Amino acid sequence: MNHIVYPLDAMHPISDVKKDSLPQLLEAIDTPVLIEFWAPWCAPCRQMNPIIYALAEDLRGHVRVLKVNIEENKKTTQAYKIKSIPTLFILDAQGNPIGAPLIGMSKTLSEEVVARLAPHVDKKVIPPFYQPLDSLPQVS
């Protein structure tokens, strides 16, 4: 599956970072940000694409998702010290990292991302299937 990327606007849930423009994009964003470092030849990156797209759709308007192609953004890749892909960085609305980078693919990737973002977004925007079972209302 190809990566689906769009310009930075509210109509599209995922934006493609071009020409090492990540610092400028981050200055223009006032929500938490999920940044994926990837490459077109990376099989795990392609496997992760549907997960990232689903997160972007589910959290649209509350979290920005940026994709950084390491081949087109060499300075940014070096600045973030990317050694392996896929690598995810999660930043709060002020641009501060939320936890360590997530490197590689895992079965619980979406839950890990949502768990880190949850304290930084309105709880109502997080779909119930992302929430731990003990946080859901109990049925009697």
Q: What is the pLDDT of residue 32?
A: 92
Question: What value does the mean pLDDT take over residues 67-74?
Answer: 94
1 is annotated as an active-site residue: no
Give the residue-averaged pLDDT of 34-57: 91
42 part of the active site:
yes
pLDDT value at residue 115: 83
Which stretch of 12-21, 29-38, 129-138 has the lowest confidence by average pLDDT?
A: 129-138
Q: pLDDT band at 113, cuts 50/70/90?
A: confident
Please report, for residues 3, 75, 78, the alpha-carbon distance to residue 81 in angstroms, rounded to integers and kept in the order given. 22, 10, 5
Of the ranges 21-35, 102-116, 117-131, which is most confident? 21-35
Q: Which of 45, 70, 82, 121 is catalytic?
A: 45
DSSP three-state, residue 11: coil
Rounded Cα distance, 72 and 107, in Å: 28
Catalytic residue among 42, 54, 109, 115: 42
Query: Which domains are assigned to the chain?
Result: 14-135 (3.40.30.10)
Rounded (10°) CA dihedral 41, 43, 48, 50: 80
C-alpha 94: how far from chain center: 15
| pTM metric for this prediction | 0.80
Positive or negative torsion for Cα 54, 58, 61, 62: negative
